[in-house]
Amino acid sequence: MAIANANLANQPGSIIVDDVSMVFNIASEQYNSLKEYFIALSRHKLRFKPFYALKDISFSIKPGESVGLVGTNGSGKSTMLKIIAGVLSPSEGTVTVNGNIAPLIELGAGFDHELTARENIYLNGALLGYRKEFIDENYQRIVEFAELQDFMEMPLKNYSSGMVARIAFAIATITEPDLLIVDEALSVGDQFFREKCERRISELVESKNVTVLFVSHSVEQVKRVCERCIWIEKGNLRMDGPAAEVADAYAHMER
């Protein structure tokens, strides 16, 4: 297993999650000022109770796999995604991710609402790591995919959340990333755009060049898009296997 993981670690698009735990210290209060902090400290009130958002999770994903992540609210899915995306660092264990990541965790992160849509495409592209020339060349395709040709010079604050989602999705998927992370992002757009997004994700899945990590509350959608499914429940890895099997088990647990 260790040798297999070592091989995997060098392939773009692979994810190795090794014995990861995430502990949050829930303070009874949040100390935002020195005064509060020292008062609490002097009264020995600076107590934290540890909360395990994830507990000893291990799995590995091969390049090109499409994996759904299911679990009830607050079970640690988003924490897992954030650790994989590199936003959070785990309290224990290691996560090795290889290649370029396109994170669609809450669409519209990395946008500035005072800037116009055009300026935001460049800013967001930079944050994803795209080359400037690449954005130049593909600008038109991004706009076309988002179907917002007439609104490019408008500040983003005048956009609806669905319009922002369209642009964010178009930027992130205009090329094939090594790893695409989708976190319930598709729930904002209208029905037609949701379908378009799902088609695009399926395209990326079928290309076999992109590892797709997909969080959804729709069991049907997971079964449609993914071949494998991981079920995390209350911070523990409950089940890992073929999408249909795991998704059904999850759906039955709920009832």
Partner 1 sequence: MSQTETTTTSPTSASNAWYPASQRDIYVVKQLVSKDFKLKYRRSVLGVAWSVLNPLLMMLVQAAVFSQIMRNNDPNIPNFPIYLLLGNTAWSLMSDATRQGMESIIFAQSLLKKVRVNRWVFPVQKVLFAVVNYAFSLVAVALVMAVFGWYPSWWALLLPLGVFYLALFCIGLALLLSALAVFFRDVIHLWGVFLTAWMYLTPLFYSVTILPGWMQSVMRFNPMYLYVTFIRRVLLWRMNPGLLVHAGCIGFALASLALGYYVFHKTEDRFILYI
Positions touching partner 1 (CB under 8 A) are 24-25, 32-35, 37, 82, 85-89, 100-101, 103, 105-106, 109-110, 112, 114-115, 119, 122-123, 126-132, 134, 137-138, 141, 144-145, 174-176, 200, 203, 207, 209
Cβ at position 107, least distance to partner 1 in Å: 9
Cβ at position 210, least distance to partner 1 in Å: 9
Nearer to partner 1 by Cβ, of 94 and 220: the residue is: 94
Cβ at position 90, least distance to partner 1 in Å: 10
Number of Cβ within 10 Å of residue 29's Cβ equals 9
Which 8-state DSSP code applies to residue 155?
Answer: B
> By C-alpha distance, which of 38, 163, 37, 20 is closest to 92?
20
What's the half-sphere exposure (Cβ side, CA atoms, 13 Å) at 2?
0
> By C-alpha distance, which of 2, 9, 21 is closest to 237?
21
Strand-pair category, 236-242 with 228-233: antiparallel
Nearer to partner 1 by Cβ, of 158 and 207: the residue is: 207
- Looking up tokens 């609210």, which residue turns up? 73
Cβ at position 100, least distance to partner 1 in Å: 5
Torsion of CA 17, 23, 24, 26, to 10 degrees: 160
Nearer to partner 1 by Cβ, of 12 and 249: the residue is: 12
> By C-alpha distance, which of 145, 239, 133 is closest to 197?
145
Nearer to partner 1 by Cβ, of 32 and 254: the residue is: 32
Nearer to partner 1 by Cβ, of 235 and 247: the residue is: 235
Amino acid present at 77: K
Cβ at position 232, least distance to partner 1 in Å: 20
